[in-house]
Amino acid sequence: MKIHFENAVARAATFTSLSADRCEVVLGAEGGGISLAEIRNSGKRYIIGDIEVLEEHSVAMMFRCFLPGAEEERIFMRFGLLPCLKTRICLDLHLLDNSTIYTNRTPARLSWWFMDSVPGSKRQTGSSLAWSVPFMRSG
């Protein structure tokens, strides 16, 4: 099942490019995002897609899940993205049942390599993201 970005809703964000299978979003320094309501009733286990940070700094992203009408998320997944590097993400929606607190990972291993190889990189405010090739898959 493909996610159609034309149905996405911007929250404290601006779409600079939008089509059925790709979107480019500008977020302010305070954060923001897009809502993908199609995920809720899809019956699929995974969300898979490519995200690219179009700025020269890394970004912490959150996949947040809300109850209908709620202002605060019920549960979230947080992950980091490196600048100017298209990253394929795979979010396992079964983790949202809260039965697993930490997923398998090796923290900061990639960021150590990246920061050593890019001298003089500096942090900026705000972020531009491009997200493409999203689809959902059963487990």
Exposed e or buried b per residue across 113-123, where buried means at least 16 C-beta atoms within 10 angstroms of its C-beta: eeeeeeeeeee
Are 95 and 51 contained in the same domain? yes
Residue 73 lies in a domain: yes
pLDDT tens, the chain, 139 aa long: 788 889 999 988 999 999 998 999 998 888 888 988 888 888 888 888 889 998 888 888 888 888 888 888 888 888 889 898 888 888 888 877 777 776 666 555 544 444 444 445 444 344 555 555 455 555 5
pTM above 0.75?
A: no
Are 74 and 85 contained in the same domain? yes
Its domain, for residue 92, covers 44-99
Are 28 and 49 contained in the same domain? no
Residue 107 lies in a domain: no
